[in-house]
Each structure stands twice: as structure tokens, then as C-alpha cells.
Amino acid sequence: MHTNQGNRCWRKVYHAPMLVRGSTPLGRRGRLTLGSVKASPQTQLRLLELADLDAELARLDHRRRSLPEVAELVRLEARASELKDARVVTETELGDLAREQSRSERDVEQVRTRIEKDRARLDAGQVSAARELASLQSEIENLHRRQGDLEEVVLELMERRETLDRRKDELTNEQEGLGGEMAAVAARRDAAFKEIDEQAARASDQRGNIAAEVPGELLALYDQIRKTKGVGAAMLRAGRCEGCHLSLNAADLNVIRASAPDEVIRCEECRRILVRTSESGL
């Protein structure tokens, strides 16, 4: 128990300075942050090189994601998917029509057979009673009408199939054309990706070399800012932060003039590390 209490006590003491820092009064806004991290002017200049490389890496990443070929492929893939669906619908309908046509053709065949049988009975003189004869002739007439109607249905089905066959051919042609177009766009996209990746690999290498020369504490600070800002440092040029493009007021510039060269200064607006150079206007 005693150890635990001691531990808790230590934690309290440890957290105390954090609370003080967190409750910095609003009145401090607009003034510069002078951190505890110190670095020689030369080391601070390395941060500008890092910032340039990080900006380039961000540009490359953005270019990779916003390549027109990527959007174009999404559009073409959507069209390909539409065509595939349309083809399935057309092929299903063609199958239905083919079955319907077979059924109608069988019906026509049955009616024709029936007519032939009736005719054979007539021709053979099997039917002699006048009433029966009239009835048989009437049936043959009805069967002829039925045959005509059924043949009409078959013709109509054939026309619908022809229309759908043409539609299927059109879809197939467009699918083939689209396939070629997609392959060409994908090849252009891949070539662009390759170029971007090569540039990014070079920038990453350079970044690694420079980062290796920056002391750990300063690099950690830089990287922490970079996570939210994209780049962690900016040049102070002619009294202006190159990160957020805001000009510093005279009081802040005086604070910077009075600061030792190894002080690491942060822009109060964008929180980036402000690096002084001969162009800073101090």
C-alpha cells in the first residue's frame, strides 16, 4: 500500500506542470512560443529542407490520388458494370423468347398435324353424313385460323429476338471497346504511378538522410507538428511566417531579435517551427 501511495503522489507532482501549461491564459495569444528545445541555426535550417521534402511528398501523394486516369477508370468501370448488367438482362430475355418461340412452334405443328388428319379423313371419303361433313369442314377452318394466329405469334417472337440480338451485339461491341479503353487508361495510370513512386522514393531517401542529422528531440517536435500541418517548419521571411502567410507584429519581431540563435521559435498562429534566415527581416 505504502508503495502505491507513493506512486500516486509522484504522479500528482509529475502532472502539476502540465496543468499549469494547459491553463495558459488567453492573454498570451498572439505572442511567440519559445520552447524548451534548443538547436543551432544550422540544424534549424535542416528543418526547412525537411519541410520542402515533406511538402513534395504531400504533393506527390495528392497527385497520385487525384490522377485524372484514376477518376476516368472509376467512370469506365461503372459503365462496364452497367453493360454487364444490361447483357445479363438481354440474354435472359433472349432465353425466355427462345423458349416461348419453341412452344408456339410446337403448337403450330400440332394444329397442322390435326388439319392433315382431318383432310385425310375428308379425302378418303370416310365421312358421308352431311352434318358430320359440315362439322369436319368447320373444324378445319377453325384450325386454319388458329394456325394463322399461332404463326403470327411466332413471327412476332422472331422479330423481338432479332431486335434483342442486335442489342446484344451493340452491348458486346461497346464492352470490347471499353475493355481496350480501360486497358489503355490503366497503362497510363500505372506509368504515372511509377513516375510518382520513383520521385517519392527519392524524396523519402533524402528525407531520411536529413532527418538522421536532426537531434531526436527537435525531430520529434517537428514530426508532431507535421502530423496536423503537413509540414512542421516554415521560414520567417520578411517578417512573415511562410507556413500560414501571416505577418508577425512588431512586438513579436522584437522578441525574436532578442532571442538567442539556438532558441526554437514557433509561430503562434500555425504552431509551425519558425526558422530564421538572412531573409527574415530581423
Contact window for Zn ion (CB under 5 A) among 81-89, 157-165, 205-213, 262-270: 262-270
Using rule CB under 5 A, residue 267 touches Zn ion:
yes
| One residue of 47, 219, 231, 270 binding Zn ion per CB under 5 A | 270
Q: Which position among 243, 256, 263, 273 is part of the footprint of Zn ion (CB under 5 A)? A: 243
CA dihedral defined by 103, 105, 109, 115, rounded to 10 degrees? Answer: 100
Q: Does 48 bind Zn ion (CB under 5 A)?
A: no
The residues pairing with 265 across neighbouring beta strands, listed in sequence order, are 34, 274
Cell of 144: 386454319
CB of 211 to Zn ion, least distance (A): 22
State the alpha helices, DSSP H only, in 124-231: 130-213, 216-229
In the complex with Zn ion, the residue whose CB is nearer, 256 or 270, is: 270
Out of 67, 192, 244, 282, the residue judged to bind Zn ion by CB under 5 A? 244
Confirm or reject binding of residue 32 to Zn ion (CB under 5 A): no
In the complex, minimum distance from the CB of residue 249 to Zn ion, in angstroms, rounded to a whole number: 13
Of the candidates 155, 161, 167, the one whose C-alpha atom is nearest the C-alpha of residue 95 is 161
Q: Minimum distance from CB of 229 to Zn ion (Å)?
A: 9
- In angstroms, the CA 61 to CA 279 distance is 30
Q: Which is nearer to Zn ion, 232 or 243 (CB)?
A: 243
Residues in 154-193 that interact with Zn ion by CB under 5 A: none
Report residue 63: phi and psi, to 5°. Answer: -65, -40
269 binds Zn ion (CB under 5 A): yes
Residue 232 sits in the site that holds Zn ion (CB under 5 A):
no
Q: How would you class 233 by CB atoms within 10 Å of its CB: exposed for 0-12, middle for 13-18, buried for 19 or more?
A: buried
Euclidean distance between CA atoms 104 and 91, whole angstroms: 20
Q: Which of 225, 241, 248, 264 binds Zn ion (CB under 5 A)?
A: 241
Q: How far is the CB of 70 from Zn ion (least distance, A)?
A: 33
Ordered strands of the 33-38 beta sheet: 33-38, 263-266, 273-276, 233-237, 240-241
Point out which residues bind Zn ion (CB under 5 A).
241, 243-244, 267, 269-270
